[in-house]
Amino acid sequence: MKKYLLKFISKEKSPLKVNFHFSLFSGIGGFLAIASISLLTKETAIPFIMALFGASCVLAFGVPDSPLSQPRNIIGGQVI
């Protein structure tokens, strides 16, 4: 058990350095995207899957350089 718990302790710092502007624009972009889907759901009475869209927003706005957050992966995941 102790060996398992020691895997969570790291002496290294996270390599990701995020500045304030990136965090601000990511938050605004995520808010606007989720708010627009919520508005579309309300106006059209078609239930969009918010959990799937929320996860896509985290990928697209939080880690835009990740291979998983490229447009073909996000759009393909929404279509499927």
For the chain, domain boundaries:
21-79
Alpha helices in the chain (DSSP H): 2-6, 20-44, 50-57, 71-79
This prediction's pTM: 0.61
- For range 21-49, the mean pLDDT: 86
47 contacts: CB under 8 Å, gap ≥ 6: 41
- Asked if the model's pLDDT at residue 19 lies above 80, the reply is yes
Which segment of 47-51, 62-66, 67-71 scores lowest on mean pLDDT?
A: 47-51
Grade residue 15 by pLDDT with cuts at 50, 70 and 90.
Answer: low
